[in-house]
Amino acid sequence: SQTIHQWPATLVQPVGSPLSLECTVEGTSNPNLYWYRQAAGRGLQLLFYSVGIGQISSEVPQNLSASRPQDRQFILSSKKLLLSDSGFYLCAWSTGTSGDTQYFGPGTRLTVL
């Protein structure tokens, strides 16, 4: 069966510090991968999605970046965090067929102070 992992679960970082969040998927090949951000009590904002290794599409201009160094690994990064980067970061995967269900990881709760 397929599983998705995200770490860390929680993170508190000072403004201006770098960020690296990792997401890995097991049990499937060539998944579509997604990074979302959710502010407290709000909806899901799609940040990046990837249909293959090295292929990243950015949805929202910001100081975040994403990379996919391996088929089932998706990394969200920042060189310098802003206060507004605080939120709940969710990674998700779907199969290669368009419109399939998205399966979410447990998320990383990031607080920037």
Partner 1 sequence: GQQVMQIPQYQHVQEGEDFTTYCNSSTTLSNIQWYKQRPGGHPVFLIQLVKSGEVKKQKRLTFQFGEAKKNSSLHITATQTTDVGTYFCAGLEAGGTSYGKLTFGQGTILTVHP
**For partner 1, which residue of 37, 107, 110, 112 counts as binding (CB under 8 A)?**
107
**CB closer to partner 1 out of 17 and 26:** 26
Stretch that binds partner 1, among 10-18, 20-28, 64-72, 95-103 (CB under 8 A): 95-103
Stretch that binds partner 1, among 11-19, 69-77, 78-86, 91-99 (CB under 8 A): 91-99
**CB closer to partner 1 out of 4 and 81:** 4
Stretch that binds partner 1, among 9-17, 38-46, 66-74, 75-83 (CB under 8 A): 38-46
CA distances to 37, 64, 104 from 45, rounded to whole Å, are 5, 13, 14
**CB closer to partner 1 out of 34 and 74:** 34
**For partner 1, which residue of 19, 37, 86, 105 counts as binding (CB under 8 A)?**
105
Handedness of CA 8, 107, 56, 112 (dihedral sign): negative
Which is it for strands 32-38 and 87-94: parallel, antiparallel or unpaired?
A: antiparallel
Distance in angstroms (rounded) separating the CA atoms of residues 89 and 91 = 7
**Could you list the residues that contact partner 1 (CB under 8 A)?**
32, 34, 41-44, 46, 49, 51, 90, 94-107
